Amino acid sequence: MKFRFEFLGAAGGTLFSQLSPILKEQFRKVGIEMTERVVDANVLLKTLQDHRFDATLLGATFNLEQEQEQTWHSSSALNGGTNYVSFKNAESDRLLEQIRVEFNDEKRKQLYWRWQEVIHDEQPYTFLYYQEEPAAYSKRFQNVQWLPLRPGYDLNSWWVPKPLQKYGAATRAQ
């Protein structure tokens, strides 16, 4: 029996249109047949929610400060849930439930490390890349702090001392 699957993508998706032919050729070389199906974004979302697909390409940003259960917990694998790939793993569920109620930063960090190992081992998603986002700022700014989570900064905490300010407050045209 030949291994074949359908790769689902959104119409107008630049990354999908660039990546799909490359994947198709690489799979062909090892005897796997990949077909492509391109649909409107609304149809794509409904297809994902109904879990009626073999493989798809999604862009995602995971913020570890937010609960991960909606994407990764088995309870979200029901139709309409956002665990689109129907990932179900008892240890992952248990870790996510512990993370949600753990307030000790060090213990929470250890739980996240173990959870990442489970995701790595089970591979419900294939992570293709992470886009680096370089940033720059003027030395005039004070209280600049870089954060480990995206977007990586909190502009509300930055300020410029009065003597170093170059631009006055905007004035209203009369």
Fold of 1-59: D-Maltodextrin-Binding Protein; domain 2 (3.40.190)
Mean pLDDT of the region 95-111: 94
Quick one: pLDDT band at residue 150, thresholds 50, 70, 90? low
What sign does the dihedral 120-123-129-135 (CA atoms) show? negative
Confidence (pLDDT) at 171: 52
Confidence (pLDDT) at 98: 96
Q: pTM of the entire structure?
A: 0.71
- Rounded to the nearest 5 percent, the helix, strand and coil shares of the chain are 40, 15, 50
Does residue 109 register a pLDDT over 70? yes
Tokens of 32: 């796997």
Tokens of 39: 């649909």
Mean pLDDT of the region 2-19: 94
Tokens of 83: 């665990």
* CA–CA separation, 152 and 108 (whole Å): 20
Q: How is the chain split into domains, by residue range?
A: 1-59
